[in-house]
Amino acid sequence: MLLLKRQKLEELKSEGKDPFVKETYDVTAHSKDIKEGFNEDEEREVSIAGRVMSKRRHGKICFLDIRDSVGTIQVFARKDVLEDKYEEVKGLDIGDIVGVKGVVFKTEAGEITVRATDLTLLSKSLQILPEKFHGLKDPDLRYRQRYVDLIVNPEVKDVFIKRNKIIKKIREFLDNRGFLEVETPILGTVAGGANARPFYTHHNTLDIDMQLRIANELFLKRLIVGGFEKVYEMGKMFRNEGMDPKHNPEFTNIELYQAYVDYEEMMRITENLFEYVATEVLGTDTINYQGTEISLKAPWKRITMIDAVKKYADVDFNKIDTDEKAREIAREKGLEVSENDTWGKLLSEMFEEFCEEHLVEPTFVIGHPVEVSPLAKRNPKDPRLTQRFEAFINTWEFANAFSELNDPIDQRERFEAQVAEKEAGDDEAHPMDSDFINAIEVGLPPTGGLGIGVDRMVVLLTDQPSIRDVLLFPTMKPIGKEVAEINENKAADEKSKIKLDLSKVKVEPLFEDYVDFDTFSKSDFRVVKVKNCEEVPKSKKLLKFTLDDGSEKKRTILSGIKNFYSAEELVGKTLLAITNLPPRKMMGEESCGMLLSAICDYDGEELLNLVMLDDNIPAGAKLY
| pLDDT tens digits for range 241-257 | 888 999 999 999 999 99
Q: Contact at 8 Å (CB) between 350 and 315?
A: yes
pLDDT, position 547:
96
CA-based nearest residue to 76, from 36, 119, 30: 119
Which stretches of 166-238 are assigned E, i.e. beta strand? 180-181, 187-188, 200-203, 208-212, 230-238
C-alpha separations of 28 from 25, 252, 259 in Å: 10, 36, 51
Q: Measure the CA angle with vertex 364, ends 359 and 368; round to 5°.
A: 105
Query: Binning pLDDT at 50, 70 and 90, where does residue 494 land?
Result: low
Using CA atoms, how far apart are residues 51 and 405, in angstroms rounded to an integer? Answer: 56
Q: What is the mean pLDDT of the chain?
A: 92
Are residues 238 and 378 both part of a single domain? Answer: yes
Domain presence at residue 614: yes
Residue 598, C-beta contacts closer than 8 angstroms, at least 6 positions apart: 608, 609, 611
Report in angstroms the alpha-carbon separations of 146 from 140, 293, 580.
10, 30, 63
What pLDDT is attached to residue 497?
Answer: 61
Kindly state whether residues 436 and 366 are assigned to the same domain.
Answer: yes
pLDDT value of position 134: 55
Contact 76, 58 (CB under 8 A): no
What range defines the domain where residue 41 resides?
1-123
Same domain (yes/no): 93, 183: no
Q: What is the largest CA-CA distance in the chain?
A: 108
Measured CA to CA, the distance from residue 614 to residue 218 in angstroms comes to 30
Report the side by side order of strands in the sheet with 180-181: 180-181, 230-238, 250-259, 447-453, 396-403, 388-393, 363-366, 301-304
Q: Are residues 509 and 398 in the same domain?
A: no
Q: 554 and 602 share a domain?
A: yes
Q: What confidence category does residue 231 fall into, taking pLDDT thresholds of 50, 70 and 90? A: very high
One domain for residues 424 and 296: yes
Buried b (16+ CB within 10 A) or exposed e, 224-254: bbeebbbbbbbeebbbbeeeeebbbeebbbb
Yes or no: say if 369 and 195 are a contact pair by the CB < 8 Å rule. no
**Backbone φ, ψ for residue 391 (5° rounding):** -100, 125
Helices (H), 283-407: 305-313, 323-332, 343-354
Beta strands in 418-560 (DSSP E): 447-453, 505-506, 525-535, 543-548, 554-559
Contact (CB, 8 A) for 253 and 453? yes
Which residues contribute to the annotated binding site? 390, 397
Assess whether 29 and 82 both reside in one domain: yes
Q: Are residues 233 and 377 in the same domain?
A: yes
Buried b (16+ CB within 10 A) or exposed e, 332-367: ebebebeeebbbbbbbbbbbebbbbeebeebbbbbb
Residues 333-339, mean pLDDT to the nearest whole number: 92
Q: How far apart are the first and last CA of the chain?
A: 76
User: Which of 469, 496, 520 marks a domain boundary?
Assistant: 469
Q: Where are the beta strands (DSSP E) in 24-171?
A: 44-58, 61-67, 72-78, 97-106, 112-123
Residue 167 covered by a domain: no
Residue 262: half-sphere exposure toward Cβ, Cα within 13 Å: 8
Number of domains in the chain: 3
- Report which of residues 294 and 496 the model is more confident about: 294
Same domain, 460 and 510: no
The length of the chain is 624
Angle at 24 between CA 18 and CA 25, to 5 degrees: 100
Q: Tell me how far CA of residue 197 lies from CA of 176, 340, 401, in angstroms.
A: 35, 20, 20
Question: Where does the pLDDT of residue 493 fall: very low under 50, low under 70, confident under 90, or very high at 90 and above?
Answer: low
Please compute the mean of the pLDDT values over residues 158-167 and round it to a whole number.
97
The yes-or-no verdict on residue 162 having pLDDT over 60 is yes
Classify residue 502 by its DSSP letter.
Answer: G
205 within domain boundaries: yes
Q: What is the pLDDT of residue 507?
A: 83
Inter-axis angle of helices 434-443 and 217-225, to 10 degrees? 30
Give me the helices (H) in 333-433, please. 343-354, 408-423
Q: Which of 469, 489, 513 is a domain's end point?
A: 469
Let me know if residue 88 belongs to a domain.
yes
Both 181 and 116 in a single domain? no
Distances (CA, A) of 263 to 277, 382, 384: 21, 16, 17
Q: Is residue 458 part of a domain?
A: yes
Going by C-beta distance under 8 Å and a sequence separation of 6 or more, which residues neighbour residue 279?
285
Q: Is residue 479 part of a domain?
A: no
The region of weakest confidence among 45-49, 479-483, 618-622 is: 479-483
Q: Kindly state the average pLDDT of the residues 172-186.
A: 97
Helices 454-462, 263-282: axis angle to 10 degrees equals 40
**If pLDDT is split at 50, 70 and 90, which confidence band does 500 have?**
confident
Strand order in the sheet with 187-188: 187-188, 208-212, 200-203
Q: SS3 of 203, please?
A: strand
Q: What is the CATH classification number for the domain harbouring 606?
A: 2.40.50.140
Residue 469 CA to residue 142 CA, distance in Å, equals 9
Residue 263 covered by a domain: yes
DSSP letter at 227 equals T
Q: What is the pLDDT of residue 95?
A: 95
Residues 110 and 191 in one domain: no
Asked if 97 and 201 sit in the same domain, the reply is: no
Q: Are strands 584-586 and 574-578 parallel, antiparallel or unpaired?
A: unpaired
Residues of the binding site for Mg(2+) = 390, 397
Q: What is the pLDDT of residues 542-594, one digit of tens each?
A: 999 999 999 989 999 999 999 889 888 899 999 999 999 999 998 888 999 99
Check pLDDT > 90 for residue 260: yes
Pairwise CA distance, residues 131 & 94, whole Å: 10
Domain boundary among 454, 469, 484: 469
Sign of CA dihedral 273, 277, 278, 283: positive
- Sort strands 363-366 and 301-304 into parallel, antiparallel or unpaired: parallel
Say if 356 falls within a structural domain. Answer: no
CA quadruple 137, 142, 147, 153: dihedral, nearest 10:
30
- To the nearest 10°, report the CA torsion of 325, 327, 328, 329: 90
Say whether pLDDT at 496 is over 70: no
pLDDT the model gives residue 33: 95
Helices 343-354 and 323-332 pack at an angle, to 10 degrees, of 20
- The reported pLDDT for the residue numbered 77 is 96
| Strand ranges inside 404-514, DSSP E | 447-453, 505-506
Buried b (16+ CB within 10 A) or exposed e, 278-309: beebbeebebebeeeebebebebeebbbbbbb
Among the listed residues 453, 343, 345, the one whose alpha carbon sits nearest the alpha carbon of residue 390: 453
In this predicted structure, the answer to whether residue 325 has a pLDDT above a threshold of 70 is yes
State the CATH number of the domain containing residue 381.
3.30.930.10
With 0-12 CB in 10 A as exposed, 13-18 as middle and 19+ as buried, what is 27? middle
